[in-house]
Every structure is written in structure tokens, then in C-alpha cells.
Amino acid sequence: MIVAMRSDATQADIERVVETIAEYGLRAMTLPGGERVAIGITSSISHDVRDTLTEVLNSLAGVGHVTQVSRAYKLASREFNPVDSVVEIKGVKIGAPTFTVAAGPCAIENRDQLMQTAESVEKSGAKLLRGGAFKPRTSPYAFQGLGVEGLKLLKEAGEATGMVTVTEIMDQHDAELIAEYADILQIGARNMQNYSLLSAVGRMDVPVLLKRGPGATIDEWLLAAEYILCQGNSKVILCERGVHPLDRAYTRYTLDILAIPVVKSISHLPVLVDPSHAAGNRAYVPSLCCAAAAAGADGLLVEVHPEPSKALCDGPQALTLDTFATVMQQVKSLCGNKVF
Amino acid sequence: MIVAMRSDATQADIERVVETIAEYGLRAMTLPGGERVAIGITSSISHDVRDTLTEVLNSLAGVGHVTQVSRAYKLASREFNPVDSVVEIKGVKIGAPTFTVAAGPCAIENRDQLMQTAESVEKSGAKLLRGGAFKPRTSPYAFQGLGVEGLKLLKEAGEATGMVTVTEIMDQHDAELIAEYADILQIGARNMQNYSLLSAVGRMDVPVLLKRGPGATIDEWLLAAEYILCQGNSKVILCERGVHPLDRAYTRYTLDILAIPVVKSISHLPVLVDPSHAAGNRAYVPSLCCAAAAAGADGLLVEVHPEPSKALCDGPQALTLDTFATVMQQVKSLCGNKVF
Amino acid sequence: MIVAMRSDATQADIERVVETIAEYGLRAMTLPGGERVAIGITSSISHDVRDTLTEVLNSLAGVGHVTQVSRAYKLASREFNPVDSVVEIKGVKIGAPTFTVAAGPCAIENRDQLMQTAESVEKSGAKLLRGGAFKPRTSPYAFQGLGVEGLKLLKEAGEATGMVTVTEIMDQHDAELIAEYADILQIGARNMQNYSLLSAVGRMDVPVLLKRGPGATIDEWLLAAEYILCQGNSKVILCERGVHPLDRAYTRYTLDILAIPVVKSISHLPVLVDPSHAAGNRAYVPSLCCAAAAAGADGLLVEVHPEPSKALCDGPQALTLDTFATVMQQVKSLCGNKVF
Amino acid sequence: MIVAMRSDATQADIERVVETIAEYGLRAMTLPGGERVAIGITSSISHDVRDTLTEVLNSLAGVGHVTQVSRAYKLASREFNPVDSVVEIKGVKIGAPTFTVAAGPCAIENRDQLMQTAESVEKSGAKLLRGGAFKPRTSPYAFQGLGVEGLKLLKEAGEATGMVTVTEIMDQHDAELIAEYADILQIGARNMQNYSLLSAVGRMDVPVLLKRGPGATIDEWLLAAEYILCQGNSKVILCERGVHPLDRAYTRYTLDILAIPVVKSISHLPVLVDPSHAAGNRAYVPSLCCAAAAAGADGLLVEVHPEPSKALCDGPQALTLDTFATVMQQVKSLCGNKVF
């Protein structure tokens, strides 16, 4: 059971609810879910008590609504927030009815590469600029990113184009540093269950883009989001990027397109799709962009590079600037009823 | 290497090609791929010989073109036929640039159920009527279909509505019987590697809808198609219906949307999508229909039932007649450049 | 609910049970499960009726015991038969406490190859001779087996060495033919859900070795066995041969060693392990043989070839005759408490 | 190509090798792999140069041997170290020909629980005591461990019984703290690709137990080990604990028993098996312990609890003290040729 407090609830209101729950011999947990506090009852409640308690709690000052949440995730659930969440950063909205596209190179390589990409994708309609400065690479011998130098270039490109920036964080101790330079912190697939990192960004007031691990079930993904939400940071954006494939003869992963309508029905959080990592081959990326838009995703995260053949990281899956422009036209035509 | 003969090639032309290949010490296999014969060279060819032989073969009477096919599948490959194949049955086309929808109940239950469904889905724009008479069920104790009685009803409904009919075949010895009543034979996911069945329908002159097994790689799927094609039946329609999921908490399978652009790029065969079995839950079917159309599928195979809650088989995933009508409108609006 | 009749129950006894069940408004299904008949109640039964009905049925002539079976499979369940089933063919037993090894080439190629293998593996302790005459191959262009000629060689080798023979059946219409030559019919992984084939061998009085499909859950596998059992053939032997792998960099499949203790606890059927197809590489086969024995399997199905490098099929995974002899010694030492 | 320096090589020797490589226009990376330094050439080398360079390098002072390593992992490969690595802690060896068992509760709950378990498993033959103080839990609302209080109890129990202790680290900033109390740092499956954490423990001089992620391929697992090794810490112990299952009807994961012989053939690192997390059900744990030993694992990591039904974490998969004692007897009898 979750008691969602009103946004104007006072600390005294909150304490009164916690005490009331305690009087019934139940354990309450205060969940600072962004703009408004929620109080979860984590003990199991008998059917007899449930109805009485619901009535009592509903009558208390500051209480918004009381809901039963059967899932393991609470704050991420549609029951907790029946309305689609919208994360807003510098005027850019992520969440229905807006369709938001993030584009940019896998790794930031130099000023020219980044600036050329940013200017082009911005013209094509992307509102977010993505680019990796700290790169998680399967091999320790692969290019690991430009680090702080990359962050500076990202900030510069964001300011020059008026775009919101997103970059990956791999270590919670870089959180403050990265947040100085970038607008959205991305948690990559490999760190989806790095609970120290999730909790750390949960304690910050910065939007977080949470990618799904390739082996994570939908519940594991939403519980990872819950780790962030239950620390008080409600600005969570989900991103599907492909699950384990049957084989890798043609693609890197299997894009779980079904996850889009499923997550949209059980959670209020916005969901983007990353077609680039799923496909691993730019030939298939345009079809996936269209499929994601048609399936109801709230946006895309696409790898774009001015010269994919010279990319230091994931070149084969990056779209050229021109192809990206074309894809954006196609996607717009599929999103007639969305704000672009 | 594959030698595609022209459609007006004579038996003597074919024999001359086979002899020529033999003169080079190589093994030739005549593949009666539908309207035109192909001759595959199944021995490995040295680089020296390849160029000379290609030149020689190209100069022979009746030869259309000579191509290198690196994949294990030959007749199913895009190299063999660079143009999209179109399967035509009673004036209904399946294959680009047409978008073709098959709809109907999982199992044929009685005349009323089938007729009501057929009339409704035909009005909504479906050109194919699907319905199972012989049902492959995981449990031997589950409803196994009406058998011949079901076939008769299917034929009746097809004639009454002018729709082309499709039904599943599980046993090669029913092939002639089923082909008397239905227009397209469907091979289900469980029988995708039942090579006796594939070869049997390969020897017939009837369109075959080949579903992908949930654990089949794309190569295994195309090689299953090759079993049909290499017997001389070129009327093969592929159907993606979901692969093994990470878990089954919300859906039955994971729809492999990426398989659509992949198969369209490596094969000339038409590809439909069955969103119903993949989702296992009607709530997610409309989104998948839209995603499939946007990803470039050549059509859909959708389960529709007048009263899903009373269905004898797979009720939870069947759309109602009204929802299907709505979905068809959405899909049409996404397929602006296709013939509907 | 299942009513297991005693082996001396008369037809009249059986009919009386069926009538009694019908009197309660429930549907009965007679399941000729080998030596004794079982009667399953396939309608759902209210708690009130269950106890009374159990009492009534237990009092009828010919009734052995009445059990609740909660699983979808009935005759394959441990509840139906609490004792380990033993399949006996020509004096060779398969099922605890015996440990039985089948060995031989993937495909029968010629008399010398087969006879040399048979004589050697028999000396090493194998009681069953395996060899394929009809081969299911992923590609239609691969070697498909010697057919009837292969069956004749198999029979000859079996008689010469006193070994029980096992070979694959792919088409139900070959069933009588194959049963003339071989002692055990093997149903391969690709045909595990070919229900026509399962039902056909279910109507025969011949032992069946049922391989698990690489994508089949344990329930799907046991329900496939149920298709055979419910037709009256109780001589079913299960065989685990690997499930879908995460990747194929080093092996073909992932051997599901956990399936051994799971199936032994929920079913009474004997379970063999095929390490050769799982590994796809002979280097790993000895370790898997030992692991299977230690995990409680009832035997092995191993590919052995006198000259693996010249094998027409699956050479890389075949053990040499010498390595097989060594492995058998290791396995015996691990099976101290089993009859070898 | 990898140049393994001798353990008595001087800094000058190392520099000479690096310079020589640079003279050929190639990039060298010094890898401080524990007792001896290795120098990897990360540029690609033409065939012409390879032979000459190998000869030249072999002639330099301090060079042990020069090897071609085709795999992405270098220091973890069998080519780098053809002999089985043995990690030794306080006289306890992990690595062939020793078979080492770690046992203990999933989570440390209180002194009595831990001490009772430690004394019992030590008597049964376990040399390592495992117990979680910081617990990674899928849900943020589940019991997260006792923290430092748990570490103190672990150290106390280790000293009282003379056992070596192992506990999980989730955050690199706890590394020094945990290393004060425990002998081996465990990196759990969820953090297998947390590269910040891997690098951090790589810079320490403490043994690390690296669990395989349930979705990690063998190459991804060995590359995770490489992240630790290439920082200079050679004391890496691998642990297989189950990969993604086909379904979860009976078990939590699929134990990848094949990974044991595969990893033993391509890497020199010791490999343990955790049967408890794989099975998720204590009924199947004894069979898996035996299978792992028979397959060639270097030891086990088993969850044991004095009262599993009261465990705060993963009770269903914990063995009782008595069952563990019995299992140890069985495993010993299977490991005749190992040091126990």
C-alpha cells in the first residue's frame, strides 16, 4: 500500500501518517518521490485491516490518495502515478505527448566531430545531444573515452546549439563532476544493477537516463529505477536498447519492441528506444526508429557520426548525418499526434 | 554459385548447364524454384575456376544470370532473386509493395463464430481469413481442433466473403486434404524443422506460410524455407511470431522486430508478423501491429474473435472485432506508400 | 485427478470407474499407460466433491490408487508412478539403478565404419548402438543419411555385437519400417513438438528416446512425452542434449545439467544425457559425461567415430574409439552405486 | 602478441622491450600481471614482421617467452600462462590440483547464526567461510545486509575457526574497509561489468572472486577478469553461478556446466561453481555439487544456513548443516585425484 501525499503536505502531515501506520503495527517507509512524498507500507496487511486503514489514511490532512500496489516496484508503478511522467530540462520535455530524439556520436572524439554532429542533428530535429566521455568497454584495451576533456566539449556543443546534453556515468564519484558539464546522466546497460551508482544518482537532483541491461527482465529494470526513485530523484527516463539475441549472425541484440507497450502500461516513466546498440548495423536502424515510434515510445537515442567509418567506437552502427535527417522526416510522419 | 535459368529455358538448356559444370569436376544440383529452374553448384570452387566458369555459363543458352551465394540458403537469398517476391492467390497479393492482413480466430469453433469474424474482418480490410482446424497444442489434453469439419467451415466462410483462407497443417498426409479446402497451408512454429513436412509441401503447388520457431535463428528459418523452395515450390511466405523471452511475466514471447529489416535485406521472400502469439495479451497487440508495419513487414497475421473470453484457444490474445477495425485504421495510416 | 488401475483390472472394472466419474458430472479420459490403465479426470473438481469422489473411487474393484496431479502432464509425473520406470529391451535395462550408455556414429556411413565402432564401444561397455540412417539436417543440401541401407547395416551390427540399436525417426510413415530394423526409435530435438509423430509412435509397442528441443521448457518436454504415453506406449526414455546458448563462441549449446535432478524429482521416466550435441567439440565431451553421471543421469548417448576427421556429419564432436574407452572407465568410477 | 617477462627482469629490461617494439612502429602496453610483468603489443602486426620481431624479442634480457594471443583477453588466457594458476591465502590454496569449498550463509544475520554455520562447515571440510554484509538486492526494499557490523562478525568467525573469509563488495569506496575484515573480495554477478569496481580491486593486493553475470558470454567474463589482471592484481578466482534460464518454473538459472571445461582449457584461472544461486532450490544443490566436481571445477561456493526457513535472504536455496556434511562426503568421493 502506498500513501501519496499532496505536494502541499507539511512535515507534520507526513509524520502523522507514519504514526498512524505504526499504530496498526505496520512498518512505514517514507519515499521522497520528487515533488511529492509517498509513504509505503512494507509490511503485509490483512484484508480486514486494509479497508479500515485505507479509510483512516484518506481522512488525514495532506494525503493525496491511497493505492494498492501489488508489484515489487512502487514509485515506478502506474498505480502510484496514473499520469505519464514528464521530465523537463531547460525547456525540453521528455514524456508523452512529446516525442524527443537524442542523437550524437558514441564517443566524443574531438571538437570538430562533435560540433559538426551537434549542428546537423539539431537542424534535423534532435533536442538532445548524446556523446560519451567515459566509455564502458568490454575490453580494457579498447578506447576508454576522452574523460573530462570530452565533457568540456560536450558542454560547449550543447551551449552552442542550445541542445540538452546527455552522457554516461560509470562511477558514482564522478557524479558531481559530470553534472557540472552535462544535463542528463546516463546509466549504461552494464551498470543497470550497480546499486551504489543508482543510489548515488538517486540522491541528486539531476535527470537520469536508465538503460535496460540486455539480460534484465522488465521487473528488474523497473526495480533498478526504483532504487533511484526511492532516494528522492523522480527524474528517471527509461531506455530499451536490446536484449540477448538468439544469435549474433546479423545483429548485436534483439530489440524488445514489446517492452514499450508493456512498460507504458505498468509504469508512468517515459521510455526511449536506442536502436543503434540493438541493431549494431546502421542498415537496420531506420526501420527500428520507425517501429519504436509506431509502438508508442517517447523518443529515441540514436548514434550519429559525420564519418562512421572513422569512428573510434561503434562506427558500424552509427548513422551518417544525412541518413539521420531522412530518418527524422520518416519518424515525424509516423508521430502525427505527438509533439515533436 | 547459382545459375538462374530464364523462364523460357528448355530442358536441353538445363542439361547443357549441368554437363558444363560436370566438365569442371564440380557437382551440380537442379533446383526447381518455381517459375524458373536454378542450378546450384554445391562443390567448393577455386578462385581461378570461378571467373572462367562464370563467363562460360553466362554464354550458354537459357541462362538468366550467374551469382555467388555465400550463405547456406540459396533459393531464399536476395542474391538469387534481387526483386521482392510476390505470392498471388485468387487475386490477393502477398509481398511488397502490398501490405496484406490475415485475421481470424485461433481455432475454428463453429459456423457462427467463424462467419461473424470473417464478415467483420473483411469489412475492416483483411484479405486473408485465418482459422485453425488441426491445432498443435502443448498438452495432449487440450482442445485439438474440429478437424475436417473445421476445414469445411473455413472454405464456406472464405467463399461467402471472397477471402483467401489459411490454416495450419501438422501432418504431411493431410496435405492434399487440407489443400482441397484452404488456399494457404500454414506450418507452425513447432514444425519449422519438421523436414518431412517441409519437403512434402515443397512438392505441392500451394502457397505455404512458414512461421519461425521461437528458438530458430534467422539462418535456420531461411534454411527451413529452402527445404520447401528446393523441391520446386516458390510460393513461400515467412511469418515472425516471437522468439524466446527473457521471462514470461508480461508476455509470451519477445517479438523480434529486428528480424523484419534483416530478412528483407537478405531474402526476397515476403515476411508477415504475428503479433498475437508474441504478445499473448491483446492489450499489446495494437502497438505491435503498428510497429510491424512501420518496420517494413509485408503484412500481419492477427487473432480476432467475436467473444475472446469464450474462445476455446488463446482467448487472452485475441482482439475483439471492434478493436481490430480500429487497429486496421491505425495501420493503414502508417502504410502511406503501400498498397492496402 | 488420476485413477491408476491395477494391472489385473478388467475392462468391466475400468468401465465402472468411468461411469462413476460421469455420475459426478465430470469428464473421464482413459489413458492406456503401458502395463496398467489410468483414468484421468480432465474437468476441474470442486474441493467438496474431491474427497468424497476419492473415497468412492478407492472402493471400486480394480483401482490401484487415486492421486491428485497438479501438473499439466499426468502419466509422465512422479505422482502417477512414484517408482523409477525402467525400459527393458532384449535384456538391456534403461532406468535407475542401471546406468546405460549408447554410443556410435552420428550418421551410418558404411559397414566398416559402423562395425568397427560397434565392436569397439561394446568392448568399452556401451550396451546400445546409436547411428543415424535418416538425418535431419539444417540445410537441405547436407548429407541426409543412407536411409534403408543404413538401417540394414545397423541391424547387422546390432546382431553381430549383441547390442540394442537406436536410430532416429523423422516421419511417422517410416515408423513400421524403422521398427523392423532398430530396437529404439529416437525422436530428435527438431521434432520434439511434432505431435503427429509423437502420437504415431505412441500407438506402437516400441521404446522411444525423446530428445529435448533446445528451446523447450521442462514442462513442454514432459508434455511431449505425455503425447506418447497417453496413446498407450509407456516405454519413453528422455534425453537432454543442450538448450540455447548465450553465444556459440566455444560450444553449440548449453547443457542443462540442472534438468537432470529436476526431471528425476518430478517424473518417473529415465533420463539420458547427450554430451556430444551440447558441446559440439569433443574436447569438452569427457567432462560432460562425468558431470552427467555425477548429477544422477540414467545414462549417456555419445557420438563416437573411428576417424572423426573424416565423418560425414558432426565430426568435431565425435570421440575417437580410444577416448571413449577412457571416458567409460572414468564414468564407471563415478557410478559406484549403479549397475553398469 | 604478449611478451611475458621473467620474474627477475629489471625495470631496464622492461624498458628495452618497450623501446624495441616502438622501433617497429608498434604500440606496447605494460601489464603488471602479478609476480611478473607482461608487455602486450596492441597494434596489429603483419606476418612478415611477426617472425623477425619474435626472434628479436626472445633474444632480449629478462624476456621469459613471447606468445601469440588471438583472443581479446591476454593475461587471462592459457597462452599467457600455460600452468594452472593457484591463489593462496593464509595457507589455503585455490586452483588445481586442490579442490576448495566455500560455505556459509547468503547474508550474515547475527553472531549465533554465523558462528554455528562456520564451526559446522569447517568440520565438514570447507576451508572458506562466505557471508554477505553488503547485499545487492533486486528490490531496494529488501534486507540490504548488516554492513560493517556483519564484517566484524565475519572476521571473528574466520579467526575462531581458522577459515579464510570471503564477502561481497558492491562499491569501490568500501574496498579498503572490507579488505580490513575479509580475506577475499567477491564481485557479484550484477557488477561483473562495473569497470570502475573491477579496476579498483585490480589496483589492490587482495584475492578477488569474480562471479559470472547471468547474461555474460565467456569472453565477456574473461575480459572482466582482464580488467582486474591488467591493473596488476593476478589473484583472480572465477565463479560460475548460472546463466539465463529458458524458464523459471523449477529453477532460478541454468548452471552452465560446459563453461567449466571450456574456461579450464582457454584460461589458467581457477574456477569455482556456485550451485545455490543457479538452482534456487536446495533439493537440486547436491546433484550440482557432484556434477561440478566431476566436470573439473576447482571448488564450490555453497549457501548453508542452520535454519534455512528463517533465513533473511535466499533461504529456499540454502543447505542445512547436515545436508552440507553429507554432500561434502559425496563430493570428496568424486575427487579422488584432487587435494581436498
Residues in chain C closer than 8 A to A244 (CB atoms) = 246
Most C-contacting residue of D77, D246, D274, D289 (CB-CB within 10 A), to test interface:
D246
Phi, psi of B295, rounded to the nearest 5 degrees: -80, -10
Of D141, D194, D199, the CB nearest to A194: D194
| pLDDT values of chain D reduced to their tens digit, one per residue, 340 residues | 889 899 899 999 999 999 999 999 888 888 776 677 888 887 778 878 888 899 999 999 999 989 888 788 989 999 888 889 999 999 999 999 999 999 999 999 999 999 999 999 999 999 999 999 999 888 888 888 999 999 999 999 999 999 999 999 999 989 999 999 999 999 999 999 999 999 999 999 999 999 999 999 999 999 999 999 989 899 999 999 999 999 889 999 999 999 999 999 999 999 999 999 999 999 999 999 999 999 999 999 999 999 999 999 989 999 999 999 999 999 999 987 788 7
Contact C258 D256 (CB under 8 A): no
Contact B246 D244 (CB under 8 A): yes
Contact A215 D214 (CB under 8 A): yes
Q: Is B123 an 8 Å CB contact of chain D? A: no
Q: Is A248 an 8 Å CB contact of chain C? A: yes
Q: Is B27 an 8 Å CB contact of chain D? A: no
pTM: 0.93
Residues in chain B closer than 8 A to A217 (CB atoms) = 246-247, 249
Q: CA B209 to CA B229: how far, in whole Å?
A: 12
Q: Is C142 an 8 Å CB contact of chain D? A: no
**Min distance C199 CA to chain B CA atoms (Å):** 9
Residues in chain D closer than 8 A to A40 (CB atoms) = 141
Residue B90 has pLDDT above 70, yes or no: yes
Q: Is D223 an 8 Å CB contact of chain A? A: yes
Mean pLDDT of B164-193: 96
Q: Please write the tens of the pLDDT for every residue from A29-73.
A: 787 666 778 888 877 788 788 888 999 999 999 999 898 887 889
CB–CB contacts below 8 A, A to C:
5
Nearest-Cα residue of chain D relative to residue C296:
D287
C-alpha cell at B107: 481455432
As to burial, measured by CB atoms within 10 angstroms (0-12 exposed, 13-18 middle, 19+ buried), residue A222 is buried
Contact D294 C296 (CB under 8 A): no
Helix, coil or strand: residue C8 = coil
Q: CA C223 to CA C230: how far, in whole Å?
A: 10
Q: Please write the tens of the pLDDT for every residue from A112-123.
A: 999 999 999 999
**H or E segment to which residue D273 belongs:** strand D271-273
Contact D193 A193 (CB under 8 A): no
CB–CB contacts below 8 A, C to D:
108
Nearest-Cα residue of chain A relative to residue D226:
A140
Closest alpha carbon to B28 in B37, B19, B36: B19
Contact B244 D244 (CB under 8 A): no
Residue B207: pLDDT band with limits 50, 70, 90:
very high
Q: CA A169 to CA A134: how far, in whole Å?
A: 7
A neighbours by CB contacts (3+ pairs under 8 Å): B, C, D
Q: Is A326 an 8 Å CB contact of chain D? A: no
Residue B53 has pLDDT above 80, yes or no: yes
Q: Is C220 an 8 Å CB contact of chain B? A: yes
Question: How many residues in chain C?
Answer: 340
**Min distance B194 CA to chain C CA atoms (Å):** 6
CB–CB contacts below 8 A, B to C:
80
Helix, coil or strand: residue C57 = helix
Closest alpha carbon to A318 in A176, A169, A107, A148: A107
Residues in chain A closer than 8 A to C244 (CB atoms) = 246
Mean pLDDT of A225-246: 94
**Min distance C248 CA to chain A CA atoms (Å):** 8
Contact C291 D294 (CB under 8 A): yes
Phi, psi of B273, rounded to the nearest 5 degrees: -125, 135
Residues in chain A closer than 8 A to D74 (CB atoms) = 141
Q: Is B48 an 8 Å CB contact of chain D? A: no
Contact D246 B247 (CB under 8 A): no
What's the pLDDT at C337? Answer: 75
C-alpha cell at C299: 545414462
What's the pLDDT at D33? Answer: 63
Contact C248 A247 (CB under 8 A): yes
Of B138, B172, B223, the CB nearest to C139: B223
Find out whether the peptide bond into D97 is cis, omega within 30 degrees of 0: yes
Mean pLDDT of B202-210: 97
Q: Is C248 an 8 Å CB contact of chain A? A: yes
**Min distance C244 CA to chain B CA atoms (Å):** 7
What's the pLDDT at C122? Answer: 98
Most D-contacting residue of A139, A203, A229, A256 (CB-CB within 10 A), to test interface:
A139
Residue A10: pLDDT band with limits 50, 70, 90:
very high
Mean pLDDT of A170-193: 96
Q: Is C48 an 8 Å CB contact of chain A? A: no
Contact A72 D244 (CB under 8 A): no
ipTM above 0.90, yes or no: yes
Q: Is D248 an 8 Å CB contact of chain B? A: yes
Q: Which residues of chain C have pLDDT under 70?
A: 33-34
Q: CA C133 to CA C108: how far, in whole Å?
A: 6
Q: Which CATH class name applies to B87-334? A: alpha beta
The percent of residues above 70 in pLDDT, for chain B, comes to: 99
User: In b/e form, how buried is each residue of C55-91, taking b as 16+ CB within 10 angstroms?
Assistant: ebbeebebbbebbebebbbbbbbbbbbeebbebebee
Residues in chain A closer than 8 A to D73 (CB atoms) = 139
| CATH architecture assignment, domain A2-67 | 2-Layer Sandwich (3.30)
Q: What is the mean pLDDT of chain A?
A: 93
Domain ranges in chain C are 2-67, 87-334
Residue B68: pLDDT band with limits 50, 70, 90:
confident
What's the pLDDT at B35? Answer: 72
